[in-house]
Amino acid sequence: MEWIAPERLDNTLMARAARVKLAVFDVDGVLTDGSLHYGSNGEDVKVFNTLDGHGLKMLKDSGVELAIISGRSSEALAKRSRDLGITQLFMGVPDKQKVFEHLLGSLSLQDADVAGIGDDVVDLPFLIRCGFAVCVPSAPRYMREHVHYVTDAEGGRGAVREFCEIIMHAHGTLGPALAKYLD
């Protein structure tokens, strides 16, 4: 089974993605569409995309470590993270760069070993250090000018799946992961 990569994924971008050992995800605007929903008791309600979720599972199963860094805290996000087996969850983070530094140190990684995806300028301090930095198309123009790749899909609508599949394609793990569904 062959996955057709977007034409704008040149050899340089694929080389960046091939080096990835850790993928870091923002939440609002990336794992969700960025809308904030509140229940009748004021609880935070988040809507996640199942295709994105399966992409996260496939990427994790391929050997890439996953981390989520969110400026907001949410029980919905904590549950989603548990459901997906993501143990590197950091919520209520005012300075994402500090968590990025912690991850590099605790996992003995270099900047070039990390891919990150975000949607707003608060993500830039860690994204500009990532070996493969990505944002969604609705990100502000300033943000889009400082990343290596802008997804075709929007946040909460397949951007995470696209990001995961690019990394897996670069690692040579996407084809085998998809082929098992045809057996």
What CATH number is given for 11-177 in this structure? 3.40.50.1000
DSSP labels, 47-88: ---HHHHHHHHHHHHTT-EEEEE-SS--HHHHHHHHHHT--E
Q: In what order do the strands lie in the sheet with 132-135?
A: 88-90, 65-69, 22-25, 114-118, 132-135, 149-150
Closest CA to 72 of 119, 98, 36: 36
pLDDT at 6: 66
pLDDT at residue 90 tops 70:
yes
Give dist(CA 41, CA 30) in Å, integer.
25
Model-wide pTM > 0.85: yes
Share in percent of the chain as helix, strand, coil (round to 5): 40, 15, 45
Do residues 148 and 16 touch, judged by C-beta distance below 8 A? yes
Residues 91-108: tens digit of each pLDDT: 999 999 999 999 999 999
Residues 24-45: tens digit of each pLDDT: 999 999 999 987 777 778 777 7
Give Rg (Cα) of the chain: 15
Q: In the beta sheet, which residues pair with residue 69?
A: 90
